[in-house]
């Protein structure tokens, strides 16, 4: 039986951890079996990877689906990393309100782009960066060191700075079929019985 309640799915390997069992913030949602790999300490995911996240100010969330693979050093940059673009200066005066005798909300210092949403069966490569407001579709692959500034379609491979489409993994017809099938929502028994097909061995 797969033990989705384990912290380390490979007991001999402490570099991989199931995120659902280690995140503490109520503003981070993670599906079953999604993992983070870190050469030093995957238990430090929130501090090292979820950056500028002030949900009690912005009410923004990180949502990660099931069966996602997140490589070492991936970063999720939230709205607190932004600076406002609509004013004369990008300097975050509201953050330094006490220094300037201001009485304005700190959120006036940045543009709020919204949540980061990662679908199911997504692979996020080494040191990739995902910006606030981005949605990554099911089955997508984010290349190493990519900076993702826009939504990524399901079963697409993107890479570069900023990330651009490299290619689709399958035909449009096949993608539609896979999205309808949504194997990640099957029971563990059904997944186990179809592993050869899921892994492309049949």
- Average pLDDT on 186-201 reads 89
The reply to whether 91 falls in a domain is: yes
Q: How are strands ordered across the β-sheet holding 28-30?
A: 28-30, 62-64, 116-118, 135-136
pLDDT in tens, 64-87: 999 999 999 999 999 989 898 888
Q: Where are the alpha helices (DSSP H) in the chain?
A: 45-49, 55-58, 97-100, 172-181, 188-193, 195-198
Residue 10 lies in a domain: no
177 within some domain: no
Domain of 107 in residue numbering reads as 16-170
Whether 105 has a pLDDT exceeding 70, the answer reads yes
pLDDT at residue 1 is higher than 70: no
For residue 184, being part of any structural domain is answered with: no
- Separation CA 23–CA 70 (nearest Å): 14
Kindly tell me if the per-residue pLDDT of 138 is higher than 90.
Answer: yes
Beta carbons of 68 and 16 less than 8 angstroms apart: no
Question: The tokens of 141 are what?
Answer: 């692959």
pLDDT at residue 102 above 90?
Answer: no
**Residue 25's closest CA among 67, 54, 57, 65?**
54
Closest-CA residue to 60 (of 132, 137, 128): 132
pLDDT score of 43 = 96
Question: 196 in a domain, yes or no?
Answer: no
CA pair distance 2, 86, nearest whole angstrom: 50
List for the chain the helix, strand, coil content (%; round to 5): 25, 20, 50
**Structure confidence at residue 108 (pLDDT):** 82
CATH number at residue 21: 2.160.10.10
* Percent share of the chain, pLDDT over 70: 99
- pLDDT score recorded for residue 4: 82
β-bridge partners, 77 = 51, 131
Catalytic center residues: 83
At 174, the pLDDT band (50, 70, 90 cuts) reads: very high
Is 119 within the bounds of a domain?
yes
The residue with greater pLDDT, 78 or 107, is 78
**In the predicted model, what is the mean pLDDT of the chain?**
93
Would you say residue 142 lies in a domain? yes
Does residue 6 lie within any of the structural domains? Answer: no
Query: What is the total count of domains within the chain?
Result: 1
- Token pair in block for residue 166: 């490299």
Per-residue pLDDT at 30 exceeds 90: yes
Give dist(CA 155, CA 160) in Å, integer: 17
Instruction: Give the closest residue to 94 by CA, choosing from 84, 85, 155.
Output: 84
């Amino acid at each position: 039986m797969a033990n989705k309640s384990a912290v380390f799915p490979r007991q001999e390997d402490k570099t991989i951890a199931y995120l659902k069992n280690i995140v503490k913030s109520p503003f981070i949602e993670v599906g079953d079996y999604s993992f983070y790999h870190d050469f030093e300490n995957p238990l430090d995911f929130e501090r090292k990877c979820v950056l500028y996240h002030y949900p009690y100010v912005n009410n923004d969330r990180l949502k990660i689906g099931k069966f996602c693979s997140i490589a070492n050093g991936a970063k999720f940059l939230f709205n607190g990393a932004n600076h406002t673009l609509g004013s004369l200066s990008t300097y975050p005066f509201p953050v330094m309100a006490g220094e300037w005798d201001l009485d304005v909300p700190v959120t006036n210092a940045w543009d709020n782009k919204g949540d980061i949403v990662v679908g199911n069966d997504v692979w996020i490569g080494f040191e990739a960066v995902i910006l606030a407001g981005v949605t990554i579709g099911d089955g997508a692959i984010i290349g190493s060191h990519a900076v993702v500034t826009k939504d990524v379609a399901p079963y697409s491979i993107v890479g570069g700075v900023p990330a651009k489409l490299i290619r689709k993994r399958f035909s449009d017809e096949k993608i539609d079929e896979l999205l309808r099938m949504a194997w990640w929502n099957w029971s563990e028994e059904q997944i186990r019985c179809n592993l050869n097909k899921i892994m492309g061995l049949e």
